[in-house]
Amino acid sequence: MSAQFSAAKRGLRARAVRLPIIAVLLSLIFGFVGGVVAVQVDDNGIAGETYTQVTTPPVVSAENAGEISNVAAAAGRLANSVVTISSLIAGSGGGEASGTGVVVTSNGEILTNAHVVEGATEVRVRFAGDTEPVIATVLAVDSGNDLALLKVDASGLVAATFAKPGSVRVGDQVVAIGYALALDGGPSVTTGIVSALRRTIFTDSGALNSLIQTDAAISSGNSGGPLANMRGEVVGINTAVARGDDNSAANNIGFAISVDEVLTVLEQLRAQAAGTPRTEGFLGVSLEARSDGGAGSIIATVQPGSPAEEAGVLIGDIVLAVDGEPVNGQAGLVAAIRDRNPGDTIGIELVREGERLTVSATLVARPQD
């Protein structure tokens, strides 16, 4: 059986790429897995004006999950916080890519997918009810997590409210909002439920983890837009959708980066935009895939003196999860620890000689090559 994934990212003019079974049809994401690259462009797409960031925290709900609204009310609450994004792409095969963004703060911060603005020489944002776009600066990009932070010269914007981390449940009703197919007029609204949590899918630049799976329809142009609960609070950022092929069928399987991941990466993007480099955490193992149909991946090597060795991880152990994130292959492990910092302690779920156990490892800074 096989399946393909596609980024819900482009309008009718966007380019499409088809990848095999463990691929996601995202546009090529430049940069290394887990890397965060700061970029700034001016009106002409050339490095220019630096904004003074007002790091107002995003509005995060204090409420636990609960359905106290309906689809129309949920969509209405976010109507003024969702924007359409147009990116001018340079080089051979260039053109214009379309996506969606979410207003994070009233002073002009906007969050979207990294693949919506990758390779862009100019990024334009149009707000709900406006007829003319404004130029946006790309402050920082995290290709590994497929998130980007933009800034427009504006104030008094209506910021979206983010759901309380940990409040999303399987079976919760959700709405996906975005500029599907870059159609004129307001954003499209579709509804469904949270089908699964903590999904990991593979892309050409590694893996995306901490994903919400939903059956709400997600289409090209939806990328970077919100997946919201029935309170109108953002529970995730829409990023990809599964497509069937000759060997398998895929119906109503879309993915959004969870609010838990989004809020963590947002702070990392802000720090990078302010010029603070990030030091990645390091565990010190390599993995190989299982070939017997079982879950998890097999520890292939353990570096001497590494956090993994000190935690008692052994070659041949089967890794099931890291801090609850399922691990499938080396890219899955990278995704599971990507947002951790040196000094963070992680729990590693293992199977050793048929017995399940959990060990704790304290990460160190990744050695310089």
Residue 355 CB partners (closer than 8 Å, separation 6+): none
If you average pLDDT over residues 264-271, what whole number do you get?
94
Q: Which of 11-20, 155-164, 166-175 has the lowest mean pLDDT?
A: 11-20
Instruction: Give the whole-angstrom CA distance, residue 45 versus residue 324.
Output: 41
| CB-side neighbour CA atoms (13 Å) of 333 | 24
Per-residue model confidence (pLDDT) at position 50: 52
Per-residue model confidence (pLDDT) at position 15: 38
Contacts 24+ apart (CB under 8 A), 91-95: 91/119, 93/15, 94/119, 95/13, 95/14, 95/15
Per-residue model confidence (pLDDT) at position 19: 37
Mean pLDDT (the chain, rounded): 82
Q: Does domain 1-278 have CATH number 3.40.50.10320?
A: no
The single residue of 223, 258, 297, 306 carrying the catalytic annotation is: 223
CB 225 within 8 A of CB 214: no
CATH architecture of 281-365: Roll (2.30)
Q: Are strands 325-326 and 226-228 parallel, antiparallel or unpaired?
A: unpaired
If you average pLDDT over residues 127-152, what whole number do you get?
93
Burial (CB count within 10 angstroms: exposed 0-12, middle 13-18, buried 19+), residue 119:
middle
Encoded tokens for 168: 């999303």
Q: pLDDT by residue (tens digit) across 330-364?
A: 778 888 888 888 999 999 999 999 999 999 999 99
Instruction: Give the whole-angstrom CA distance, residue 196 versus residue 212.
Output: 6
The single residue of 142, 146, 260, 339 carrying the catalytic annotation is: 146
Q: Answer positive or negative: Cα dihedral of 231, 78, 116, 54.
A: negative
How far the first Cα of the chain sits from its last, in Å, is 39
Per-residue model confidence (pLDDT) at position 45: 42
Closest CA to 213 of 248, 260, 169: 169
Element (H, E) at 198: strand 188-203
What are the sequence ranges of the domains in the chain? 1-278, 281-365
pLDDT over 50 at 16, yes or no = no
pLDDT-based confidence at residue 96 (cuts at 50, 70, 90): confident
Burial (CB count within 10 angstroms: exposed 0-12, middle 13-18, buried 19+), residue 128:
middle
Higher pLDDT, 271 or 20: 271
Closest CA to 281 of 324, 325, 329, 345: 345
Active site residue 223: yes
Active site residue 115: yes
The single residue of 27, 81, 115, 260 carrying the catalytic annotation is: 115
